[in-house]
Amino acid sequence: MKANSMYRTEARQSLSGKWATSALFCFVCVLLSCVVDGLLSYLSNGYGSMLASLLILPFSYALEVAFLRQFRAEEMQIEWLFEHFNRRVWVTMIYRYILVILWSLLLIIPGIIKSYSYAMVPYLVLDDPELTGREALNRSEAMMKGHRMDMFLLDLSFLGWVLLGILAFGVGVFFVSPYIESAHAAFYEDLKEE
C-alpha cells in the first residue's frame, strides 16, 4: 500500500480543475437527500427518518462511485446521481447498511470495523455488474482484510480539513468531501491491483 500522502496527491490530481463541479455534485447530492428526508418526515409526522435513510442509499452510492469514475478520467455529470436507482444497488446498500447497524448494536467499535470492511462495496458493484450484494460484501471484506487500519488512518489524515470545512460555516465540507472521496477511489484502485 502507498503512503496516505500519495493517495491525497492522486486525489488532488484527479480533482485538478474540477473542484467546483465536484463540490456542486456533493451539494446537490446532500440537498436531494435532505429533501427526501424532510418530505418523508413531514408526511409521516417525524417517523420517516429510517425509511428516508433507506431511500437515499442510492445517492450515497452514486456519490462514492462518481468520484471513482472521475478518478478514472470520466467527466462528472449530474445525471450520475439518478443512474443507480435500481434493485441491485438498493438491495446491496440496504444489506450493507443493516449489517453495519447490527454490528454497531454490539458495540461502537465492531460497527466501525465492519463499516471499513464493507467500504469497497460500491466500487465492486460498479466494476462487476454480475456481482450480488452478498458477494460484494464478502469480496470487500476479503479485500480490506489487513487494510482497514490503512483506510482509517487515511480518513484520519483528513480530520484537519474537515474541521476547517466546518469552521467555514459548513460550506467548506462540500470542497473537502470530493477530496476524501477521490482519495478513497485512489485507495480502491491501489487495493484492486494488489
Residue 52 binned pLDDT confidence (cut-offs 50, 70, 90): confident
8 Å CB contact between 117 and 141: yes
Q: In whole angstroms, how far apart are CA 4 and each of 63, 65, 76, 123?
A: 21, 20, 24, 19
Residue 84 binned pLDDT confidence (cut-offs 50, 70, 90): confident
Sign of CA dihedral 57, 59, 64, 69: positive
Q: Which three cell numbers stand for residue 147?
A: 487494510
8 Å CB contact between 15 and 178: yes
What is the reported pLDDT for 79? 92
For the packed helices 133-144 and 108-117, what is the interaxial angle rounded to 10 degrees? 100
CA distance 99 to 137: 10
Contacts of 66 (CB under 8 A, 6+ apart): 25, 76, 80, 81, 181
Q: In this predicted model, what pLDDT tens digit does every residue of 135-188 receive, in sequence order?
A: 999 999 999 999 999 999 999 999 999 999 999 888 889 999 999 999 999 999
